[in-house]
Amino acid sequence: MLDWEHIFATRSSRMRASEIRELLKLLEQPDIISFAGGIPDPALFPDEAFKAAYNDIFSGSQVGSALQYSVSEGYKPLRDWIVGEVARIGIECTAENVFITSGSQQALDYLGKLFLSPSDTALVTWPTYLGALSAFNAYEPSYDQFSLNGNRTPASYRETAAKNGGSVKFAYLSADFSNPTGETIDLEARERLLALADEMDIAILEDAAYQHLRFDGEAVPPIMALDISRSGGIENTRTIYSGSFSKTLAPGLRVGFVIAAMPVIRKLVLLKQAADLHSSTINQMAIEHVASRGFDDQVAKIRKVYSGRRDAMLAALQKYMPKTATWTRPEGGMFIWVTLPEGMDGAELLAKSLATEKVAFVPGKAFFADGSNHNTLRISFSCTNDQMIDEGIKRLGRLVAGASVG
């Protein structure tokens, strides 16, 4: 076999399958209760509505354009629908400011490509969405831990960035029900972030993948909405908002979007022309068809189911977890984040669990840019019913209680 390493670009050395991904392959065993995936429950997909959408498209005059190449910015009726939808949460913009991507994952790749030269710094929360780290890694950045409680000064971020040989370009965060912790950033922290970004003159990447999945508590305005209202309009904002239909309608169609000021949108269009020309025309049409006829009902349906599962998981954690463990109490989303006693290792626990208790989760260190915090776990409640949740958490509690520290 060829030795490819010296032929590959240097940036490819940071593209590696993690040991955790290898472990998670074992999930295909049939008797495992899995809290590992962060995916929607397929039983909740609006499949009948999609069937009607594709039927209408194929039986109408649109079929030719549905199967044809289309503009890189995205399907205009879908962009118009998004403008109306985000206006409800304080994001006032025009269809020109909306750019359709192939899932919001593609937005992360494009934004990494647009902002990061090798050695530039991306500020990320500790922990952060693993897929964002994978997307940015290809552009060879450094990472610095973004502090949400405001105890770091712009100078300290700049100093670290300079030591790493570049400058700070953006702060990336998932403001509502984050992957992996399920936590939401409060209003004060959002305002502090905007002030810090002004002082440092950097972009803010607001990942809103889970924003619609609020079960209870009061909604906090998106960072983008706060930015628009203080700066007098979208063209003056430094926030770049990415949204997705994956968690509300269905991920398989791969439709997401970015909302930003025009200079950013114009660059994203050029990136898309070079990468994949446009997102699937027919899938954008189907998403528009389904969203414009029943988005609110679909969101209400999934919120009810996931909220019940969140409650079941919190109750089971309370019942079965040893007192030495702590966990988050999310108001929405798909995840709970568990912190085990110091010295315990989530990856070792997973290996043991798959062999004995047959329950799966994601060890937390995968979500830290520096691979730290080994004593944490991400568990998802989205794809398991109440009975499986109770049984799985019982097994997990037994495993943690029996595990040694060190």
The contact set with ligand PMP (CB under 6 A) reads 38, 103-105, 129, 131, 174, 179, 207, 209, 244, 246, 251, 256
Which of 200, 380 has the CB closer to ligand PMP? 380
Tell the smallest beta-carbon distance from residue 318 to ligand PMP (Å). 26
CA–CA separation, 259 and 354 (whole Å): 42
Q: Judging by beta carbons within 10 Å of its beta carbon (0-12, 13-18, 19+), is residue 298 exposed, middle or buried?
A: buried
Nearer to ligand PMP, 264 or 344 (CB): 264
Instruction: Work out how close the CB of 290 gets to ligand PMP at its nearest, in angstroms, rounded to a whole number.
Output: 16
Q: How far apart are CA 309 and CA 303, in angstroms?
A: 10
How many other C-beta atoms lie within 10 A of the C-beta of residue 42? 11
- The rounded distance, in Å, linking the Cα atoms of 182 and 307 is 12
Helix (H) or strand (E) holding 394: helix 386-402
Which position has the token pair 């032929």? 7
CA neighbor of 88 nearest in space, from 299, 309, 341, 303? 299
Is the separation of the CB atoms in 36 and 24 below 8 Å?
Answer: yes
**For ligand PMP, which is the closer residue by CB, 161 or 205?**
205
Give the nearest distance from C-beta 267 to ligand PMP in angstroms: 20
To ligand PMP, the closest distance from the beta carbon of 209 in angstroms equals: 4
3-state percent breakdown (helix, strand, coil) of the chain, nearest 5: 50, 15, 40
Shortest Cβ 396–ligand PMP spacing (Å): 22
Q: How far is the CB of 63 from ligand PMP (least distance, A)?
A: 26
Nearer to ligand PMP by Cβ, of 264 and 316: the residue is 264
On whether the CB atoms of residues 254 and 219 are closer than 8 A, the answer is: no
Single-letter code of the amino acid located at 364: G
* Min dist. Cβ of residue 235 to ligand PMP (A): 25
384: helix, strand or coil: coil
Instruction: CB nearer to ligand PMP: give 105 or 184.
Output: 105
CB of 4 to ligand PMP, least distance (A): 28
User: Which residue is closest to ligand PMP by CB?
Assistant: 103
- Residue 267 CB-density burial (10 A; 0-12 exposed, 13-18 middle, 19+ buried): middle
Q: Please report which helix (H) or strand (E) contains residue 226, including its range.
A: helix 223-231
Cβ closer to ligand PMP: 147 or 382? 382
Pairwise CA distance, residues 110 & 371, whole Å: 24
Burial tier of 62 (Cβ tally within 10 Å: 0-12, 13-18, 19+) = middle
* Strand, coil or helix: 335: strand
Q: Closer to ligand PMP by CB, 24 or 325: give it.
A: 24
In the complex with ligand PMP, the residue whose CB is nearer, 23 or 209, is 209
Name the burial class of residue 247, with classes exposed (0-12), middle (13-18) and buried (19+) by CB atoms within 10 angstroms of its CB. buried
**Whether the Cβ atoms of residue 72 and residue 278 lie closer than 8 Å to each other:** yes
Cβ-based nearer residue to ligand PMP, 70 or 104: 104
- Tell me the one-letter amino acid at 147: S
CB of 109 to ligand PMP, least distance (A): 10
Nearest CB to ligand PMP, comparing residues 181 and 325: 181
Least separation in angstroms between CB 185 and ligand PMP: 13
The nearer residue to ligand PMP, 90 or 131, going by C-beta atoms, is 131
**Number of neighbours of residue 51 by Cβ within 10 angstroms:** 11
Closest separation between CB of residue 36 and ligand PMP, Å?
12
